[in-house]
Structure formats: structure tokens, C-alpha cells
Amino acid sequence: MKRRAFQLSLAAAAIALTTSALAQTKWDLATAYPATNFHTVNINQFAADVDKASGGKLKITVHPNAALFKAPEIKRAVQGGQAQAGEIILVNYQNEWQIFGADGIPFLADSYEEAAKLWKVQRPLLEKKLAEQGMMVLFSVPWPPQGIYSKRPLASAADLKGIKWRAYSPATARIAELVGAQPVTVQAAEVSQAFATGVAESMMSSGSTGADAKLFEHVKYWYDTQAWLPKNAVLVNKKAFDTLDKATQDAVLKAAAAAETRGWDESKKTNTASLDKLRAGGMQILPPSAQLKTDMKKVGDTLLQEWLAKAGPEGQAMVDAFRK
């Protein structure tokens, strides 16, 4: 009798395990950034939080360093369901829809406080657009303020003329045009190699990007222009989200809100730590000269006017709301 009861309990346990396995959902989350980058670390924590809060019902595997899809492919992969979720840098998609590039306009939002204010007015528009494309935005985290990396000293924008400038978005490509630099396309995962081989000699990016790529080995100067704080956003395929039960959906949204708050804090900490790392490696961290600052502000004004002309009433309304 005891043996029979034991066999029945084993069978019940096996059925429970099978049911549990069947009930478990697995997502792939693609990102183009290294595993050590603060964005990726934050996303891994988000995945762990979802796993715990859902009781193991939803397992999210994070694929860093463009291992699953390259940066330009990630949004389409999420939209098409090849990956259930993915991280993009919003400014990369400005040519598709101007609002994506709002946080890449130089000197529009040039501090964490201003960037948060911009996100507040940008997010509802973004959510509506992504819903039309079958996606949702889970959370968004900014990069630290953007400065100019250069292999040569810069006294003014004239010193950028002819320099090989890494362009990773429509805005950074347009900056190259306006200052007479030579734009070259280099993915985040290839930055170190590009500067080591002379493919790139300058770029506008955060201290975090340079610290990750150990650019102090190849670049002498970083000018703290604090031009803008571009944001990454983690997107999810709407159908994939809708197939989750209500409790798991709530777990995802709660973990996403926590990831956004934590990510903004980590961005601030990373900014300080990254610049310290660049200094320790021998890079000179410098304030821009008055002339360079004036020159780049003119570039920013030009980009804002061009952006508003393309973005139309929707873009103007967003900027007006931001400036209130």
C-alpha cells in the first residue's frame, strides 16, 4: 500500500513538473552592447526580477554584444517576432519617424533633469507609434551626457574639418556634415577596433562608451560638451506580451518600472566612474573651449530647426510641452 502511494506521488510530481515546463514561457532579448555595459547589467537584473516575480513562468535570455542581431536589425526582429524583446537606441530610427530622434538634438536636453522632462513628453507619442507597429516600450534609460572624443586637440569646430567622425545616427551624421568632418559608420561593438586601426578618429559619445571600449588606448582627448543624453529603450513584441497571463504581465511591467528607475541612477553613477576610468588610462578629460562650445551650440540650433521642419506640428507640440 505504501509502495503504491509512493508510486502515485512520484507520478503526480512528474505531471506537475511537466505542466510547469509546459507553462513556462521563454523570451529572447537582443541587445547590441557588451555584457559589462551598465545598460546590459540593468537588463539582466530586469530579466532576473521577472523570473522571480513570475515564479519562473517567464524566462528571459539576454543576448548581449549583438550576438543575436546587430544593432540596426533589433527593432525589426522584435516587430517581426524573431526576438520577443530587444534594446534599441532611439536616435537610430529618426529617419523612420522624427520623434525617435528628439533626444539626439544637441543641447535641447543637456542634463539628467532635462532628459527626464523630455522623456515625459516623448513617451506617450512613442507608445502610440510602437503600438501601431505591434510593439510596446517597457522602459528607457539614458546614456550619460555626450562629449567629443578626438585623437587631436580641438580648439574650435574648425579642427574637426576632414576628421574621420563615427556617425551612428542621423543626427551624428548631420553634425559631421555641418562641421566638415568625414562620417564613417561604426557599430558599438566595433568602436575600439575602428579607433585602433584609424577607421575613426573622433566621435560624439558618452564616457561610458569610451570606457567600455578602452578608448584611452587609442584616443587622447574627450571634451565634456554635454550635448545630449540619448536614450536606449527596451521594446517587446505586443503579441508575445499579450499571450502572458495577467499576473505575469504585471510582473513584467513592475520589473520594467523598477529597471527604468534603477537605470537612470546607474547612468549617473556610470558617468562619474567612466570618466575616472578614462583619466586613469591617460585620456585628458577637458571642458570645451568657449569657441568650441559656441560652434557646437550653432550646430545644435541648426539641427533643432531642421528637426522641427521634418517633425511638423507633432514635433513642435512636443518641444513646446517640454519647454513649458
How many domains are there within the chain?
A: 1
Q: Report the pLDDT averaged over residues 66-89.
A: 97
| Dist CA 281 CA 214 (whole Å) | 8
Task: Judge whether 17 lies within some domain.
Answer: no
Q: What is the mean pLDDT of the chain?
A: 93
Q: Report the pLDDT averaged over residues 217-228.
A: 96
What is the number of H-type helices and E-type strands within the chain? 10, 11
Task: Judge whether 182 lies within some domain.
Answer: yes
Residue 41 CA to its chain's centroid (Å): 12
Residue percentage of the chain with pLDDT more than 70: 93
Per-residue model confidence as pLDDT tens digits over 114-144: 999 999 999 999 999 999 999 999 999 999 9
Our CA dihedral for 189, 194, 197, 199, rounded to 10 degrees, sits at 150
150: left (phi over 0), alpha (psi -120 to 50) or beta: beta
Paired sense of beta strands 135-142 and 231-237, if any: antiparallel
pLDDT above 80: residue 104: yes
Task: Judge whether 14 lies within some domain.
Answer: no
Task: Judge whether 275 lies within some domain.
Answer: yes
pLDDT above 60: residue 109: yes
Q: Which amino acid is at 290?
A: A
The range of the structural domain enclosing residue 135 comes to 24-323
Residue percentage of the chain with pLDDT more than 90: 89
Per-residue model confidence as pLDDT tens digits over 232-284: 999 999 999 999 999 999 999 999 999 999 999 999 999 999 999 999 999 99
CATH code of residue 250: 3.40.190.170
pLDDT above 90: residue 13: no
Asked if residues 90 and 229 have their Cβ atoms less than 8 Å apart, the reply is: no
Is the overall model pTM greater than 0.95, yes or no?
no
Task: Judge whether 11 lies within some domain.
Answer: no
Asked if residues 227 and 107 have their Cβ atoms less than 8 Å apart, the reply is: yes
Question: DSSP for 184-217?
Answer: E---GGGHHHHHHHTS-SEEEE-HHHHHHTTGGG
SS3 154: coil
Q: Report the pLDDT averaged over residues 303-314.
A: 96
Task: Judge whether 5 lies within some domain.
Answer: no
Predicted confidence at residue 189, as pLDDT, reads 85
Predicted confidence at residue 9, as pLDDT, reads 55
Task: Judge whether 318 lies within some domain.
Answer: yes
Task: Judge whether 6 lies within some domain.
Answer: no
| Dist CA 155 CA 136 (whole Å) | 44
